[in-house]
Amino acid sequence: MDAARWALWVVVAVLALAAVNGLWIFGVRRRYRLRTTSPQRLRTRCEDGWELTLYERRAAHRRFEEPVLLCHGLAANRCTFDFEPPYSMAHFLAEAGFDCFSVEFRGIGDSRPSPRGRRWPDVTVDDLVTQDGPALIQEVLARTGARRAFWIGHSLGGLVGYAVAQGPAGAMLAGLLALGSPVFFSRDPLLHRLIHIGARAAWPRGFRNEWLSHTMAPFLGYATLPLSDVIINPKHILPPIQRKVYANMMSSMSRNVLLQLRDWLEHDAFRSFDGSVDWRAGLAKLSLPVMVMGGSMDRLSPPKNLRAQYELIGSPDKKLHVFGCERGDKMDYGHGDLLFGTGAPIEVYPEIRDWMAVRATALPLGSVQVPSPSGRGLG
């Protein structure tokens, strides 16, 4: 058989495999789709022209003026916080009387494609801090008529919140809650290796890990994948929930974000892409209320890290929670367990609700606030 025919067979085989995998992924997404009421999908535009998507879940009976921004971490999307009850912080807080907005940063989920002249692989954490964060805060304030908002961020979402709070938008925040956000970075050889591999695999367009997560989702819970303990305590998250998380929550990673994370890991730094802004040092100047939270067996943000960042924060109103058996919790918590662990709805969520309720502005009983129908966004 000549080379041309071999090449043709290879092309046909690749296309056939792609078609089969496409059908598999379609089936996985349909089989494990979230069965809950859908939030309202909204749009807003950043100053640089990038359009973002956020998902509104209003309280049936609004008790507090301040809305809540729920901000996902690396390789995740809005389903981090808006999932199926009881593993949905958006549902839980809405029932408690808070208007909730689950966001998707640029390039994630429906916050794409990029505007003319911009490329998603070029996105850095700096863009999330200087563009996305302020635009999202202004949007939810315009829609609710509130003066300030709470920011809840998981992992990278909490780090973005720390940096946003140090800028002009910080005055619009009533409080910041960081879950499993590693302000300090340990010399963990495994994590270094994983980030190096990810940064190389992301060339030139980014790391598209949705394909892998959707392909593997049906097998999770039946077998424990290698490296699972880096992001969760597999014993703490029910197998059906693991499958739904991987089928719905995972998203791609920008190459520049991965390069920035590699810089943080290699130099134990939390700073801007060009190194000119030290966001870790800026924590000492924070004055807004802050709650630091994490898991007792979280390898990405271990308890030692959490205590160090807590001590560094300058706010007079700050609190630290390390969830795990030592605290009297049901089980020890990993990175993702803070949201999806079997104990999260009864151990983690109430702590967040109660902390915000004390610092929120209670609305008069029976009062009704009429927000702008379209806010400042695209509606």
Of 31 and 252, more confident: 31
Cα(266)–Cα(276) distance, integer angstroms? 17
Residue 364 is predicted with a pLDDT of 85
Structural contact between residues 283 and 309, judged by C-beta atoms closer than 8 angstroms = yes
Provide mean pLDDT across the span 283-303: 96
Residue 372 is predicted with a pLDDT of 44
**H helices within 329-373, ranges in order?**
337-340, 344-347, 349-359
Of 17 and 57, more confident: 57
Share of the chain above pLDDT 70, in %: 89
Token duo for residue 230: 């880096």
**What is the pLDDT confidence band of residue 220, given thresholds at 50, 70 and 90?**
confident
Cα(103)–Cα(131) distance, integer angstroms? 13
Highest mean pLDDT among 112-121, 261-270, 367-376 belongs to: 261-270
Measured CA distances, 66 to 76, 219, 317 (Å): 25, 41, 18
Domains of the chain: 51-347 (3.40.50.1820)
Structural contact between residues 303 and 322, judged by C-beta atoms closer than 8 angstroms = yes
pLDDT digits (tens, 9 = 90+) for 130-150: 999 999 999 999 999 999 999
pLDDT digits (tens, 9 = 90+) for 236-266: 999 999 999 989 998 888 889 999 999 999 8
Torsion of CA 160, 132, 251, 100, to 10 degrees: 80
Instruction: Give the least confident one: 32-41, 86-95, 243-252, 359-368.
Output: 359-368
> 169: closest CA among 51, 47, 61, 267?
47
**What is the pLDDT confidence band of residue 374, given thresholds at 50, 70 and 90?**
very low
pTM of the model: 0.91
The DSSP letter of residue 225 is P
